[in-house]
Copies of this chain bind each other. A is one copy, B any other.
Amino acid sequence: VLAASAPADWRTPDPEHTLYLELPSGRVVLELAPQLAPLHAENVRVLAREGFFDGLAVVRVHENYVTQWGDPDGKKEVREGKKALAPEFTLTGARARSLAFRPLPDPDTFAPEAGFVAGFPVARDRKRQEAWSVHCYSMVGAGRENGADTGSGAELYAVIGHAPRHLDRNMTVVGRILRGMEHLTALPRGSGPLGFYEKPEQRVPVLRARLAADVPVPEREPLEVLRTDTPRFGAWVQARRNRQDAFFVRPAGRLDVCNALPPVRTPPAPAP
């Protein structure tokens, strides 16, 4: 299906909404979701531009759950950004209705419908006029304390295990990691409560975080994501629902939204 795709089936993520996290082992590429969490996506952009993330650290690696990074001491000051924001857990009313939502055909355990908005996994309840981001593997959310308005994106976590869907509608999801997940999951697990590292020297530094737009073009990560609003995506979903290669004796006939995250590729070189 993908081999037969046309260039127009793919999109290049907006460099203004793409964040590069530079870890010692390599680069993590995070695409922000301003359609779903505009306040948090904007705040992450502002924080990145003021250098807030530079020199922070991975402080928590919780097996089959999340890797989290931020300011270990909570003392670093913000200049332009915010350290607390109104929650963006669920879109409601007109905002939910106006989303260009592409549903998957199969039932979802947690919601009346699951599918995609602009490439991101989303669940929907039409009767309640609600839509919300799904906590799939590789999705990134804003850490917070017990208060719903205590997060801002200054502290972020990535899902590194089976989708913790109980976090849906309880956390603001800011985007998806398109490349470099292995830099967040192939890390020693923290031995403290909730997987926090117990000793400062165990933390993994976030060397630098920049928007792709602020990186010289030759240093940017060339990548494309399969569009979710095309017939090609529908064909890809069908192929994943019913795998035809010789290995499979019994195609599932079903697909979970978290097994349907749109493929990411390095764009082919232009014809000479």
Contact for A166 among B61, B136, B252, CB less than 8 A: B252
Query: Do A168 and B109 have beta carbons less than 8 Å apart?
Result: no
Task: Note all chain B residues with C-beta closer than 8 A to A71.
Answer: none
Task: Note all chain B residues with C-beta closer than 8 A to A182.
Answer: 63, 188-189
A185 at the interface (CB under 8 A from B): yes
> Which residues of A (181-229) have their CB < 8 Å from a CB of B?
181-182, 185-189
Give the CA-CA distance A162 to B258 in the complex, in Å.
Answer: 7
Chain A, interface residues (CB within 8 Å), range: 35 or more
> Which residues of A (224-268) have their CB < 8 Å from a CB of B?
240, 243, 246-252, 254-256, 258-259
Query: Do A243 and B166 have beta carbons less than 8 Å apart?
Result: yes
Give the CA-CA distance A185 to B61 in the complex, in Å.
Answer: 12
Query: Do B107 and A247 have beta carbons less than 8 Å apart?
Result: no
Q: Which residue of B lies closest to A189 (CB)?
A: B182
Residues on A close to B: CB < 8 A? 61, 63-64, 89-90, 106-110, 136-138, 146, 148, 161-166, 168-170, 181-182, 185-189, 240, 243, 246-252, 254-256, 258-259
22 contacts between A and B (CB under 8 A): A63-B185, A64-B137, A64-B138, A89-B250, A109-B255, A109-B256, A110-B254, A110-B256, A146-B247, A148-B249, A161-B162, A162-B162, A162-B163, A163-B256, A164-B259, A166-B248, A166-B255, A166-B259, A169-B252, A170-B248, A170-B250, A186-B187
